[in-house]
Amino acid sequence: MLQEIHKKLDELYPEMVNIRRHLHQYPEVSFQETGTARYIADFYEELGIPYQANVGGNGVIATLKGGKPGKKIALRADFDALPIQDEKDVPYKSKIDGVMHACGHDGHTAQLLILAQALAMFQENIPGTIVFLHQHAEEYAPGGAKPIIESGVLDDVDAVFGTHLWATTPFRVLQTSKDVFMAGPDRFEIIVQGQGGHGGYPHQTKDAITIGAQLVSQLQHIVSRRLDPLETAVITIGQFEAGNAFNIIADQARLVGTVRYLKKDIQEQVINEMEKAIEGICAANAVTYSFNYEKGYPPLVNNAEEAELILEAAQEVDDIETAEEVKPVMAGEDFAYYTMEKPGAYFFTGAQKEGHSYPHHHPKFDIEEQAMPIAAKTLITAYFKYQGK
């Protein structure tokens, strides 16, 4: 039957593309995805598959109970977009100014919806219960996964699987890990309050820009000189805002950035080292400061047995040429909350478009759409393999 499901997904591929391109033209940012959630709910309404809307916010959970006994397994897809202007020259370019699907969540939604449509045709012969978990707000902490879990709708689920169409991984390649797979992403803001003045009289000021520059340099030394070289962390300053004229010394500087880590103790060490560096530099320059550190999603840790099932499932998907274990990536994912609560695993489905090298969150981001049925086939194959555990 599994091969019949795979074949049906191939037959429904054009509809999968249509859904993805529709969603791509009408993106909605995190926590504002009401139209997308309604589209998903309407799809299940037409299929006659029971669903719950507004789960944990804008989440939509549909449930297909198979005709044979078995386990209850959730398959997750996220559906929020990003506040980025779409710069692609394609017919399905975003019609919403300043908003685009720059991470493939439109594809995740399309592949799960069509998988549900295909499985409804085989319902009587399917073991167990499939939960189609459509999650809002993956891109922006606190995210949608945690409130969905807190709603209790997944309490009786036995396992959770998910995938990301990964635009920097070659098409027909699947990647996963049997341990830590993605980093914990945190955010911080530093405001240096100095004393501004005339550009020709620096000795009468406390230059927030030069102090901020010292901070940018010193914070990089935490990873290179304070952490064990065998541990992993990233400190990135993404914004440095200060000054408003060429001849005025700025009185305030604002630095905003992110910390990425794989282990909890490294996260705490980085925070402590940042506090010491900021306090020391600001004290040496006789200025005040504020330091706001926001902890984001935890690292995504796959369960080894479930990750092995993904690798085994890949061997039964004809379109996959390579299935491999990889080192962790420093991007973050709130799928991490699911594997903290339930057995499960996350994997990348290679979706690199030929001649298209733009990464995730880029204004010209796009995916190889033929990766969508590959992702759907792998998810349902893993589902069947878990039923046989």
In this predicted structure, what is the pLDDT of residue 389?
A: 83
Distance CA 201, CA 217 (A): 25
If you count DSSP H runs as helices and E runs as strands, how many of each does the chain have, helices first? 10, 16
Residue 142 tokens, joined: 């606190």
Please name which of 16, 4, 12 lies closest in space to residue 372, comparing C-alpha atoms: 16
Residues 255-282 have pLDDT tens digits of 999 999 999 999 999 999 999 999 999 9
298, pLDDT greater than 90: yes
Asked if 251 and 333 sit in the same domain, the reply is: no
The reply to whether 312 belongs to the active site is no
**Arithmetic mean of pLDDT, 151-166:** 98
**Among candidate residues 233, 267, 294, the one where a domain is terminated:** 294
Distance CA 210, CA 265 (A): 32
**Dihedral of CA 373/376/380/382: which sign?**
positive
- Do residues 31 and 140 make contact, with C-beta atoms less than 8 angstroms apart? yes
Of the pLDDT bands very low, low, confident and very high (cuts 50, 70, 90), residue 99 is very high
**Arithmetic mean of pLDDT, 196-208:** 98
Look over the chain and give the mean of its residue pLDDT values, rounded to a whole number.
Answer: 98
DSSP-derived secondary structure letter, 224: I
Residues 106-156 have pLDDT tens digits of 999 999 999 999 999 999 999 999 999 999 999 999 999 999 999 999 999
| Per-residue buried b or exposed e for 330-356, using 16+ beta carbons within 10 Å of the residue's own CB | bbbbbbbbbbeebbbbbbbbbbbbeee
16, pLDDT greater than 90: yes
What are the binding residues for Mn(2+)? 103, 105, 139, 164, 361
Indicate the number of domains in the chain: 2
Q: What residue numbers bound the domain in which 125 lies? A: 2-182+299-387
Distance CA 320, CA 341 (A): 30
Residue 188 in domain: no
Residue 96 in domain: yes
Asked if 155 and 103 sit in the same domain, the reply is: yes
What are the binding residues? 103, 105, 139, 164, 361
Asked if 280 and 316 sit in the same domain, the reply is: no
Of the pLDDT bands very low, low, confident and very high (cuts 50, 70, 90), residue 377 is very high
Distance CA 239, CA 160 (A): 36
Distance CA 310, CA 162 (A): 10
Residue 187 in domain: no
Distance CA 187, CA 236 (A): 10
Asked if 177 and 197 sit in the same domain, the reply is: no
Asked if 256 and 305 sit in the same domain, the reply is: no
Q: What is the pTM of this model?
A: 0.96
The reply to whether 138 belongs to the active site is yes
Asked if 65 and 166 sit in the same domain, the reply is: yes
Asked if 44 and 130 sit in the same domain, the reply is: yes
Distance CA 183, CA 193 (A): 32
Asked if 261 and 341 sit in the same domain, the reply is: no
Please name which of 188, 186, 138 lies closest in space to residue 163, comparing C-alpha atoms: 138
186, pLDDT greater than 90: yes
**Among candidate residues 294, 324, 355, the one where a domain is terminated:** 294
Please name which of 20, 25, 180, 197 lies closest in space to residue 110, comparing C-alpha atoms: 20
**Among candidate residues 242, 265, 294, the one where a domain is terminated:** 294
Q: Which of 33, 78, 80, 251 is catalytic?
A: 80
